[in-house]
């Protein structure tokens, strides 16, 4: 293996193990060797996050490990992001996320945001208690809108939001995915969503599938 390959391998492991300081350090070393930001992202960090998602799916790692991996990737991205923008490397797609109106829970949504970023998406996080109008305003340029709710009493606002997108004439411009503890696949279909994710990793899988980015 070349020096660069060794470093990329170390970066992969640093992200997998959630070692933020070493991930950042290795990214710095790779940049010093004139490795393209795009290569560091797509050959080092994203494969590690894919692996984390896979391990999560089979119950080998849990939320804490997933979080530290996402955090390690974030540390590396601090160095890469400006360079990616300079060299005009486009993210996979833009995904807009928010917890629906009336609901202030954000832990699940934040985790989804981290995993989507980890997979190479651009994520616009509208925060919590987001009224339908703010989702409508954010549709421009977005490929997917992700709606989150934790409460059974706020789940109906997912439908309200989807209906508002339809009424504003922008529903067919984006795919809508939904998730949150009380949300089910059946409910997602019932309210006219395009996809449902029961965890942060599935949010990545379903987003890629909806945009035909998988495989």
Tell me which residues touch other proteins (CB under 8 A).
18, 59, 61-65, 67-68, 71, 101-102, 104, 107, 110-111, 129, 151-154, 157, 181-182, 184, 198-199
CA 100 vs. chain centroid, Å, equals 17
- Kindly give the pairing relationship between strand 122-125 and strand 195-196: unpaired
Q: Minimal distance in Å, beta carbon 113 to other proteins?
A: 11
Q: Minimal distance in Å, beta carbon 192 to other proteins?
A: 17
Q: Which is nearer to other proteins, 37 or 66 (CB)?
A: 66
Separation of alpha carbons 85 and 81, rounded Å:
6
Q: Minimal distance in Å, beta carbon 95 to other proteins?
A: 19
**DSSP E strands, 16-157:** 94-99, 122-125, 144-148
Q: Which is nearer to other proteins, 33 or 152 (CB)?
A: 152
Q: Which is nearer to other proteins, 96 or 114 (CB)?
A: 114
Separation of alpha carbons 154 and 149, rounded Å:
6
Q: Which is nearer to other proteins, 93 or 112 (CB)?
A: 112
Q: Tell me the three state secondary structure of residue 88.
A: coil
């Amino acid at each position: 293996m070349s020096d660069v390959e060794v470093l990329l391998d170390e970066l992969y492991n640093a992200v997998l193990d959630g070692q933020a300081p070493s991930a950042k350090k290795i990214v710095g070393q790779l940049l010093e060797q004139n490795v393209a930001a795009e290569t560091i992202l797509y050959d080092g960090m994203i494969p590690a996050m894919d692996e984390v998602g896979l391990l999560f799916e089979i119950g080998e790692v849990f939320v804490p490990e997933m979080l530290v991996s996402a955090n390690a990737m974030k540390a590396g991205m601090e160095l890469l992001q400006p360079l990616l923008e300079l060299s005009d490397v486009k993210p996979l797609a833009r995904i807009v996320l928010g917890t629906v109106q009336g609901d202030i829970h954000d832990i699940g949504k934040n985790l989804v945001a981290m995993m989507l970023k980890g997979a190479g998406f651009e994520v616009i996080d509208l925060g919590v208690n987001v009224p339908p109008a703010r989702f409508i305003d954010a549709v421009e340029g977005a490929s997917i809108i992700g709606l989150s709710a934790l409460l059974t009493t706020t789940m109906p606002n997912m439908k309200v939001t989807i209906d508002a997108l339809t009424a504003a004439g922008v529903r067919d411009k984006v795919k809508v995915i939904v998730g949150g503890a009380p949300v089910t696949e059946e409910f997602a279909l019932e309210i006219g969503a395009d996809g449902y994710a029961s965890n942060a990793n599935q949010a990545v899988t379903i987003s890629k599938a909806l945009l035909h980015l998988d495989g």
